[in-house]
Amino acid sequence: MQYLVPSILLVALVVLFFKYGVKRSTILEYERGLRYDRGRFAKILGPGQYWHTPLLVIIHKLDTRPRFVSIGGQEVLSQDGVTLKVSLAAHYQITDPIAATNQAENFQDALYLELQLALREIIDSADIDTVLKERGELSGKLLDLKEHKAQNLGLKLISVNLKDLMFPGKLKEVFAQAVSAHKEGLAILEKARGETAALRSLANAAKMLEANPHLLQLRLVQSLGQSSGNSLVFGMPPTPAVPIKTKNAKGGDLLAASGLDPASDAS
């Protein structure tokens, strides 16, 4: 009986030790772990299971899979005084877990702010026509401008793209009218080109007919032959009369022209 109480206390201490004094941390394939011993960074842990004492050791896990950050509805003033509402999407990945943890309290918020400032800086230095024509190039400028800042945060910017450009209502109407006028001008120009080509063909045909008058008759015969329900009558050329000998009632010889009825001559 005298050993029962100490045994119970020993078992309780062992249970409490394994429950609160030892902890197992599992780091997955796409994660990295930062181990801190007594508050100081010790090393980076790869995928696997690790036993440690939470009273002395802290393991902070980071997901290193590629991530996306979206910046939407930013009202920015262009160089020529037009207010634009711009949205942005960025694709990035953690490459340095130490810098991503120690250089900023929240690396994603820090990257969001850097991209927001870069977007305003680029739009402020360009007019509305440049923004519309060089939209892809502006995305490349954003990437080049903030790639070094992202590296300082332990991140790698994979891509930065402008998603949407929204204009004020009156400006939309102006752009719609400009596009409509441009399309109408192209249609008129194309019609004029067609009429010019048709007139050029007629002029060439007139020159050919002037040089070869019989082409018109041949073309007429060709057109009639291709159509149905038309009758075409050709005139027979005149032929010379051929003398033919015949007998009259008295037995004498008479000369009759070919193509004539001898009976009519006999009468």
pLDDT tens digits, residue range 92-117?
999 999 999 988 889 999 999 999 88
Helices (H), 72-166: 97-102, 107-124, 128-133, 135-152
Is 67-167 assigned to CATH 3.20.20.70?
A: no
Per-residue pLDDT of the chain (267 residues; tens, 9 = 90+): 566 667 777 777 666 666 667 788 899 999 999 999 988 999 999 999 998 888 888 999 999 999 999 888 778 878 877 788 888 899 999 999 999 998 888 999 999 999 988 888 888 888 877 887 887 888 888 888 888 989 999 999 999 988 887 776 666 665 666 666 767 777 788 888 888 888 888 787 777 777 777 766 666 666 666 666 555 555 545 555 445 445 555 555 444 444 444 444 444
Mark 188-205 as b/e (b = at least 16 C-beta within 10 Å). Answer: eeeeeeeeeeeeeeeeee
pLDDT the model gives residue 30: 92
CB 114 within 8 A of CB 145: no
CB–CB of 97/154 below 8 Å? Answer: yes
Which burial class, exposed, middle or buried, applies to 142 when counting CB atoms under 10 A from its CB (0-12, 13-18, 19+)? buried
Which pLDDT value is given to residue 98?
92
Rounded-to-integer distance, Cα 190 and Cα 236, Å: 50
Alpha carbon distance 125, 17 (integer Å): 63
β pairing state of 67-77 and 57-63: unpaired
| 3-class secondary structure, 90 | strand
d(CA 240, CA 106): 116
Residues in contact with 215: Cβ distance below 8 Å, sequence separation at least 6, in sequence order:
208, 209
| DSSP label at residue 234 | P
The rounded distance, in Å, linking the Cα atoms of 142 and 122 is: 8
Output the CA–CA distances (angstroms, integers) from residue 106 to 36, 103, 221, 266, in the order listed.
18, 9, 89, 132
Average pLDDT of the residues of the chain: 77
Give the residue among 197, 112, 185 at the shortest CA–CA distance from 150: 112
CB under 8 A, 24+ apart: contacts of 56-62: 59/25, 59/27, 59/33, 59/34, 59/35, 60/33, 60/34, 60/36, 60/101, 61/25, 61/27, 61/31, 61/32, 61/33, 61/34, 62/31, 62/32, 62/33, 62/34, 62/94, 62/97, 62/100, 62/101
* Gyration radius of the chain over CA positions: 50
